[in-house]
Structure 1
């Protein structure tokens, strides 16, 4: 099975800002209450899911010979912030729900649009990581 390794290194700079160089792109994560120099990690996580769905949507449309005039992905996610703030909570610390609404402009029926979106989500690695257990290790150096 072909595999590709994706690696990056982050640096914590001033205040709450975290930076990384990913290929030719300088990325910044920050908190609105600090310098507000970038989106929060949670916002980027949801953006990553939407971006992956959008990209895979273009691939699926190409593979299926579907002309997509517009493929907008609207996201909303609910998270209980108690856990990340160190407070006791019975809820999981991660997102409680993520809702994806795809606005698809194509010559497809509503049923075909839903089938298309199902196919897209099935091929999206980030969507798959949310549905299936992914081994994550952590070590201090």
Structure 2
């Protein structure tokens, strides 16, 4: 059986953002119909008016994982009652400040995901494998060479409120 042409041909999408520097380590950004700010904390000379770019990246990781988990769970008929994702990224700031020859991106990332479901652990493993293969932000971070540690668990019987 041959694959459908649309499945083998590239399906590119352009992702755009616009930014305007406002001084004191602040940038006003827009993406589609949304506006947001990145800023550095006051201790680094910034205005602390918004998350740092790296905080947005770790937040984007959680959001992306959540979207892909929901998508794959639906495809698998995986019963998902609730989900909480918490991630932590470790950055060696010497790279940003130019005081050492180290990468300025995440050195490691820990992802903690708690699933409210009555599914067995084998089904969670299958879900995880598909999600990790398909999540763009996860793969962006993993492909950077950062060590990514996953801590996924099932919490049965307690729905999110």
Q: State whether TM-score is above 0.5.
A: yes
Are 2:23 and 1:11 equivalent residues in the alignment? no
Preserved CA contact (<8 Å) 1:53 1:124: yes
- The structure number with the bigger radius of gyration is 2
In structure 2, the gaps of 5 or more residues are 1-9, 145-161
Q: Which runs of 4 or more aligned residues in structure 1 lie more than 3 Å from their structure 2 counterparts after TM superposition?
A: none
RMSD (CA atoms): 1.5
Q: Which residue is 1:72 aligned to?
A: 84
Preserved CA contact (<8 Å) 2:19 2:28: yes
Q: Which residue is 2:148 aligned to?
A: none
Q: Quote the offset at 1:102 in angstroms.
A: 0.9
Deviation sequence 1:19-64 (CA, Å, 0-9, x none): 1111111111011212211100111111111110001111011111
Q: Which residue is 1:123 aligned to?
A: 134
Q: Distance in 2 between matches of 1:76 and 1:20?
A: 24
**What TM-score, normalized by structure 2, do the two folds share?**
0.76
Q: Paired residues, what number? A: 132
In structure 1, the gaps of 5 or more residues are 134-141
Preserved CA contact (<8 Å) 1:102 1:117: no
Q: Quote the offset at 1:99 in angstroms.
A: 1.0
